[in-house]
Amino acid sequence: MKTTREDFVYFKKRCLYWIDRLGITGWELHWAHEEMGGVRGQCAANFDKIATLALDKTWDIEPTRKELERTAFHEAGELLLVLLDILARYRFSITESDLDKERHTIINRLASALGVGGQK
């Protein structure tokens, strides 16, 4: 099944919603709508906080609004966790405090997004 330009606009809108809702800030975001081998969506990022969020043009299922929403949320979640992943991959060149800082940043973003302790 092919995703349309309208699907891509919706995907981008919902990604931005979830990025904001999860309190993800400080990123330079780029967007792509291209053939990616059937992965539905993708978040590619680097340590300099530059990320490309992409929607695959060809899906294995019908790209309904519900599935586009799930994909947008998933890619926002990838963006939320990507720095922790990068730090872990380069664990020999980072300090324990780098990992601690990123882990606490994620926890605080989730607490804020979920309204824990009156935060929001």
CA distance 120 to 112: 5
What is the pTM (predicted TM-score) of this model?
0.83
The number of residues making up the chain comes to 120
- Dump pLDDT digits (tens) for 52-72: 999 999 999 999 999 999 999
Residue type for 28, please? E
CA distance 73 to 24: 12
pLDDT of 120 > 80? The answer is no
pLDDT of 75 > 70? The answer is yes
- Dump pLDDT digits (tens) for 12-27: 999 999 999 999 999 9
Residue that the structure tokens 């060809």 belong to: 58
Residue 118 has a pLDDT of: 59
Q: Which two tokens stand for residue 23?
A: 């309190």
Domains (range + CATH), the chain: 5-118 (3.30.2010)
CA distance 76 to 66: 15
